[in-house]
Structure 1
Amino acid sequence: MDRLQSMKIFACVVDSGGFSAAADQLGLSQAQVTRHVAALESDLGLRLLERTTRRMHLTEIGEAYLDRCRRILALVEEADTMGEAHRGEPRGVLRLTSSVSFARAHLAPAIAEYMQLFPETGFDLILSDRTLNMVDEGIDLAFRITHAVDPGLVARPLAPCRVVVCASPGYIERNGRPERPEDLRHHDCLSHSYFKRSIWPFRGAGGEQSIAVRTRVAGDVDFLHALACAGAGVAHLPSYLVGDDIRAGVLVPLLEEYEMPSPSVYAVYPSRHYLLPKVRSFLDYFAERVGDPPHWDRGWSDSAPQ
């Protein structure tokens, strides 16, 4: 059998969670998929998958072999698509990962526009607030909001991601406007579950300080965003999520003389000597769309042109 095809089928079985799902995805019969995986195991003289009638999982050697399969398949894809840069339009499926909130706010409209420009491209997205292993998951490009990127990966900074303390006009009318970070001790605060829920760090003219706030609700960023817009309390949220709300008057930025530690938005991809044209094309398109300064900060941020 074609060894590369068998490797591709083996990876698909793992990614899709089973032989039947892989067969549907690849347009093959389940018997064909089974034969390809069995041929790999026979050639290696090793068991790659342990399977019963109810479940399937990789053996230890299967995990190591899968990692190498992904690397080989990626190199083959590179070789097959090197001519795209000279032929014109990009083509193929891009496997991306991003946090849920950033994907909804910015990747979704960008992808919709990009696919109209390049009809031979498609996208496979993994939305997760966890940091996924790009090689293990076969990911072409990741959008990460962080203070530091894994040194084993290539990272292109796209934009700062300011953290904005904000609340709705209704909340401010009922509860008053905090003028100093210490005032937050007397407000209903909405805190991100992944960070220290009751300690908010600030930096101002007087230096750095950490304020113990009264957290009324802790949750993920999308939920806190909805709560803040509904007037439930004071939240600290990424500017990429609240820029439109601030411009529309739905949310009001607070404590603007102070800063909270802010990460950056990075486009991250595995370290390769040759970046696939479809990846480079979308990355360049998205970076231009974001702009400098990023479009979500324009019209209200002191750091962006008015």
Structure 2
Amino acid sequence: MDRITAAEVFVTIVDRGSMIAAADTLEMSRAMVTRYLAQMERWTGARLLHRTTRKLSLTDAGERTLERCRKMLAVAEEIDLVESAQSDDLRGLLRISCSQSLGQTAVVGAVAQYLKRHPQVAVDLQMNNRAVNLVEERIDLALRITNELDPNLIARPLSTCASVVCASPAYLAAHGTPRHPQDLAVHNCLTYSYFGKSLWHFDGQEETTAVAVSGNLSANESVVLLSGTLQGAGISLQPYFSAAPALAKGELVELLPGYTPLVMGIYGIYTSRRQMPATLRTMLDFLVTWFATDPDWQATLR
């Protein structure tokens, strides 16, 4: 890890009186602040802070380290380090995490266009539907579809994700068609396996409804549930961008047209705005523009 940044983090913790305040000042996640402090203590081989529920105080080793860190930062301020953001100079590896469905539908195409502009950059796409720990797994950027943002991380809005409740014609012929969200409670609904019970939320013309659904097939990736839905296994709640081709072909039927499933946000999640690598900054800027202008993606919006 960068010792200059670690020194800045340590000094800011002391000056602001807490790691939370330091994270806000440095525009850095709390997890990253904690990691830099732990690394600083490993480098010095000593505990630097006494931590209590009310305040932080310096140990003897912390006092000595604080003085050295302030000197280090003073020297660093005298050095003019300019990182060129010209496309010809961009290089390095970006590790990006996203779900398989979003990766296949959007991210691979967007990344391919980015790499054409910046051929010296390499991207490692990690397809994973769970919320990965960016610090522990060395992920530079996580693309997530969510309405529940982690306050410890930095999130940049990229787009929105509409959802659709759908089933195959064969399933509906055998089990009937739900007319109201509450009807889903008696149907076989394909759910995500992160939770024992799933709540599907709908906005109607005069009401907001949350329905507890269940079924005999669950998975941690929406493309698996989409495949099961196409096979007639049950009803699923799908990202519209993923289900749109099958809906257009008549392979799936949209259900409950008078009720709109909760719209979610698509975010780029990262750990810190400070000393952001040019590759990450330009990738985020590129994705914002791509999601706003790409005709194929725009066709999946509702």
Same fold (TM over 0.5): yes
CA deviation after TM superposition for structure 1 residue 255, in Å: 0.9
What's the secondary structure of 1:151's corresponding residue?
coil
Give the drift of 1:282. Answer: 2.0
The equivalent residue for 1:201 is 201
Which amino acid counterpart does residue 163 of structure 1 have in structure 2?
A: S
Check 1:96–1:261 CA distance in 2 against 1; reply closer, same or farther (3 A cut).
Answer: same
Report Cα offsets for 1:2-41 as digits up to 9, x if no partner: x99xxxxxxxxxxxxxxxxxxxxxxxxxxxxxxxxxxxxx
Change in 2 beyond 3 A, CA 1:115/1:86: closer
Matched residues in 2 for 1:275 and 1:204: separation? 42
Partner amino acid for 1:290?
F
The answer to whether the 8 A contact 1:197-1:218 is kept is: no
| Alignment partners' CA distance in 2, 1:183 and 1:253 | 15
Query: Identity rate of aligned residues, in percent?
Result: 34
Provide closer, same or farther for how the CA distance between residues 213 and 81 of structure 1 changes in structure 2, counting only shifts above 3 A: same
Q: Partners of 1:43 and 1:217 in 2: how far apart?
A: 50
- Offset, 1:227: 0.4
> Which runs of no fewer than 5 residues in structure 1 stay unpaired?
5-41, 47-75
For 1:175 and 1:87, the matched residues in 2 are separated by 56
Match of 1:291 in 2: 292
Report how far residue 140 of structure 1 moved: 1.8
Kindly state the Cα deviation for residue 233 of structure 1 after the two structures are TM-superposed. 1.4
Deviations 1:178-237 (Å, cap 9, x if unpaired)?
221133244322112124535433331232333344523222222211101222211011
Query: Aligned partners of 1:238, 1:80: CA distance in 2, in Å?
Result: 47
1:243 aligns with 2:244: yes
Tell me, yes or no, if the aligned pair for 1:243 and 1:296 is still in contact at 8 Å. Answer: no
**Contact (CA 8 Å) 1:191, 1:198: kept in 2 or not?**
yes
* Residue in 2 that maps onto 1:262: 263
Instruction: Name structure 2 gaps, 5 residues minimum.
Output: 4-41, 47-75
The farther-off stretch of 248-257 and 82-91 is 82-91
Q: Does 1:276 align with 2:277?
A: yes
Which is further off, 267-276 or 153-162? Answer: 267-276
Separation in structure 2 between the aligned mates of residue 80 and residue 268 of structure 1, nearest angstrom: 29
Q: Distance in 2 between matches of 1:153 and 1:80?
A: 29
- Taking a change above 3 Å as real, the CA distance of residues 148 and 172 of structure 1, as seen in their structure-2 partners, is same
Report matched runs for 1:74-113 at 5 Å.
82-86=82-86, 88=88, 90-113=90-113
Give the equivalent residue in structure 1 for 2:228: 227
Aligned residues: 233
Equivalent residue, structure 1, for 2:9: none
The Cα shift of 1:249 comes to 3.0
CA contact under 8 A between 1:159 and 1:293: conserved in structure 2? no
Give me the whole-angstrom Cα distance separating, in 1, the residues matched to 2:214 and 2:146.
Answer: 26
Q: Which moved more, 1:194-203 or 1:140-149?
A: 194-203
TM-score by length of 2: 0.64
Contact 2:93 2:124 in 1 (8 A): yes
Q: Residue in 1 aligned with 2:72?
A: none
**Displacement after TM superposition at 1:265 (Å):** 0.6
* Cα shift at 1:155: 1.4
Shift of 1:292: 6.3
Separation in 1, partners of 2:191, 2:125: 27
- Is the alpha carbon distance of 1:199 and 1:115 closer, same or farther for their aligned partners in structure 2, counting shifts above 3 Å? closer
1:139 and 2:139 aligned: yes
Deviations 1:45-78 (A, max 9, x none): 69xxxxxxxxxxxxxxxxxxxxxxxxxxxxx9xx
- Confirm or deny: 8 A CA contact 1:145 1:263 kept in the other structure: yes
Q: Return the TM-score normalized by structure 1.
A: 0.64
